[in-house]
Amino acid sequence: MNHATDEALAQVDPEIFRLIEAENRREHESLRLIASENYASRAVMEATGSCLTNKYSEGYAKKRYYEGQAVIDEVEELAIARLKALFGATAHGSVDDIHVNVQPYSGSPANLAVYLAFLNAGDTVMGLGLAAGGHLTHGHNVSISGRYFNSVPYGVRRDDHRIDVDEVRRLAKEHRPKLLWCGTTAYPRTLDFKAFREIADEVGAILAVDIAHIAGLVAAGVHPSPVGIADVVTSTTHKTLRGPRGGMILCKKEHAAKIDRAVFPGVQGGPHNHTTAAIAVAAHEASTPAFKEYAKAIVENAKALGEALAARGFSLVTGGTDNHLLLVDLTNKTIPGKVASKALDQANIVLNYNAVPFDPRKPFDPSGIRLGTPSVTSRKMGKDVMVKLADWMEYVVAAPEEKARIEKVAAEVRELCDGYPAPGLRV
């Protein structure tokens, strides 16, 4: 007689099994345009669901607090070596100068570790303001990063909505931050890492670059790399990198000890070994020529979608994109972002409502929407689909209250998706 732990999920917990199947179906039959989402491969998901989830491994390779770590050490060392090789190929300087930590549970804990490594409570930090496209963990006042540290946000210009490097320099000279963030969560343009390096050097700040959104693009060489320029580079391991829900930190070797101590025991306990293994798999996949073509196609699709939307009267923040995402101001469409995103969701077009620079509306009911092309590109959808997508969006946004219109688009999207199997899903 089998124990419950040896039985399939459907028998042990049919409710959770049903919900997972429902999500599996939803991910198959919708156009997923959340800029921070993607499809992990079956190999990545198998590693995530492996027996490695059973093992507790506080410490680092060869320096653990528990016994029985021989295999775990090899897994972690392999993940580190693969990431070092992957991002070392894009680095400014020698790969030997790069230190990698793969233990952060995700991007936010990775950023918190950076604060702990270099700052004391009350020290000054600068980052792109949330309303201008920055991230909560770069000093926003609802985050621990804005409550425990003196946060000075910088912004974008009113005329073109691009980061105002002159303002960054002026604020840095005035406030002398100990930590300067360069990183975004809703910014569609290339980041000038060298300009931020110069500013950090002028004021004696640590330069931290958060590439959570663009890590896959950086790894593939379709976005400039900050590795070797910044003191510290943080990232998630999903999004464009297409790995598991995890985090990583790459830093100059001179900061290795501080970063490692800040991650463990500073902000977390034992690493999630199953995630570490999946990160290693993702890094292996990202080293292939196919991944480089995929990353290139992400940007091409984003540009094509942006052009198609602009041709249909949608207002693009900064006028377009250089990376994987688009930020659309719906003010001229006389529809709030929240209303549009909910109507599009019902039509199987999944994106998020989002504030736009200098937005007169409240953050929970903003003027814009944010969308990205990583997931649809992973399904091998191309520019022709981006044009069709723009048609659907125009049709739904024009009359978001019309059920028949939404149901028509939803059915057409399902039919389209049947022809483009998603990596990792079993339908």
Question: pLDDT, tens digit, for every residue of 121-130?
Answer: 999 999 999 9
Active-site residue among 48, 137, 184, 236?
236
Please name the residue ranges forming H helices in 128-205: 144-147, 165-175, 193-203
Active-site residue among 56, 105, 148, 420?
56
Mean pLDDT of 96-120: 97
Closest Cα to residue 234, out of 214, 264, 204? 214
| Rg, the chain, Cα only | 22
Does residue 109 carry a pLDDT above 90? yes
Mean pLDDT of 324-346: 98
The reported pTM is 0.95
Does any domain span residue 402?
yes
Residue 276: CB atoms within 10 Å:
25
Could you tell me which residues come within 8 angstroms of residue 166 by beta carbon, excluding any fewer than 6 positions away?
none
Question: Is 210 designated active site?
Answer: yes
The reply to whether 320 sits in an annotated binding site is no
Shared-domain flag, residues 102 and 234: yes
Mean pLDDT of 237-260: 98
Indicate the number of domains in the chain.
2
Q: What is the 3-state secondary structure (H, E, C) of 284-332?
A: HHHCCHHHHHHHHHHHHHHHHHHHHHHHCCCEEHHHCCCCCEEEEECHH
- pLDDT category at 91 given cuts 50, 70, 90 is confident
- pLDDT category at 7 given cuts 50, 70, 90 is confident
Active-site residue among 58, 73, 77, 97?
58
Mean pLDDT of all residues belonging to the chain: 96
Does residue 413 carry a pLDDT above 60? yes
- Give the tens place of pLDDT for each residue, 265-277: 999 999 999 999 9
The parent domain of residue 181 ranges over 51-286
Could you tell me which residues come within 8 angstroms of residue 104 by beta carbon, excluding any fewer than 6 positions away?
110, 113, 234, 246, 247, 248, 249, 263, 268
Does residue 6 carry a pLDDT above 70? no
Shared-domain flag, residues 304 and 276: no
Shared-domain flag, residues 164 and 207: yes
Among residues 254, 286, 318, which one ends one of the domains? 286
Shared-domain flag, residues 62 and 163: yes
Residue 217, judged by CB atoms within 10 A of its CB (0-12, 13-18, 19+), counts as: buried
Residue 156 φ/ψ, nearest 5 degrees: -120, 165
Distances (CA, A) of 299 to 33, 190, 215, 257: 13, 11, 13, 36
Does residue 107 carry a pLDDT above 50? yes
Shared-domain flag, residues 78 and 177: yes
Does any domain span residue 57?
yes
Helices and strands (H and E) in the chain: how many: 16, 15
The CATH number given to whatever domain includes residue 255 is 3.40.640.10
- Give the tens place of pLDDT for each residue, 44-57: 999 999 999 999 99
Question: Is 303 designated active site?
Answer: no
d(C-alpha 184, C-alpha 162), whole Å? 12
Question: Is 296 designated active site?
Answer: no
Mean pLDDT of 380-389: 98
Mean pLDDT of 341-369: 97
Shared-domain flag, residues 63 and 211: yes
- Of 6-10, 105-109, 261-265, 301-305, minimum mean pLDDT range: 6-10
Q: What is the pLDDT of residue 19?
A: 96
Shared-domain flag, residues 310 and 413: yes
Active-site residue among 29, 76, 210, 231?
210
Q: Tell me the percentage of the chain whose pLDDT exceeds 90.
A: 95
Q: In what order do the strands lie in the sheet with 247-252?
A: 98-101, 247-252, 232-236, 206-210, 179-183, 124-128, 150-154
Question: Is 64 designated active site?
Answer: no
Does residue 1 carry a pLDDT above 60? no
Residue 346's H or E segment, with its range, is: helix 337-346
Shared-domain flag, residues 144 and 245: yes
Mean pLDDT of 201-214: 98
Does any domain span residue 40?
no
Question: Is 288 designated active site?
Answer: no
Does any domain span residue 115?
yes
- Of 90-94, 219-223, 293-297, 417-421, minimum mean pLDDT range: 90-94
Does residue 370 carry a pLDDT above 50? yes
Does residue 255 carry a pLDDT above 50? yes
- pLDDT category at 96 given cuts 50, 70, 90 is confident
The reply to whether 130 sits in an annotated binding site is yes
Shared-domain flag, residues 357 and 276: no
Does any domain span residue 116?
yes
Tokens representing residue 403 in the block: 């059920």
Does residue 4 carry a pLDDT above 50? no
Does any domain span residue 36?
no
The reply to whether 136 sits in an annotated binding site is yes
Active-site residue among 169, 245, 383, 408?
245
Among residues 241, 263, 286, which one ends one of the domains? 286
Question: Is 158 designated active site?
Answer: no
| C-alpha torsion angle, residues 213, 217, 223, 225 (rounded to 10) | 80
Mean pLDDT of 371-395: 98
Mean pLDDT of 405-412: 98
Q: What is the pLDDT of residue 2?
A: 42
Q: What is the pLDDT of residue 244?
A: 98
The CATH number given to whatever domain includes residue 319 is 3.90.1150.10
Shared-domain flag, residues 347 and 203: no
Does any domain span residue 314?
yes
Active-site residue among 162, 178, 239, 242?
239
- pLDDT category at 5 given cuts 50, 70, 90 is low
Q: Tell me the percentage of the chain whose pLDDT exceeds 70.
A: 99
Among residues 286, 306, 331, which one ends one of the domains? 286
Shared-domain flag, residues 340 and 211: no
Shared-domain flag, residues 66 and 212: yes
Does any domain span residue 43?
no
Distances (CA, A) of 333 to 337, 353, 394: 10, 14, 10
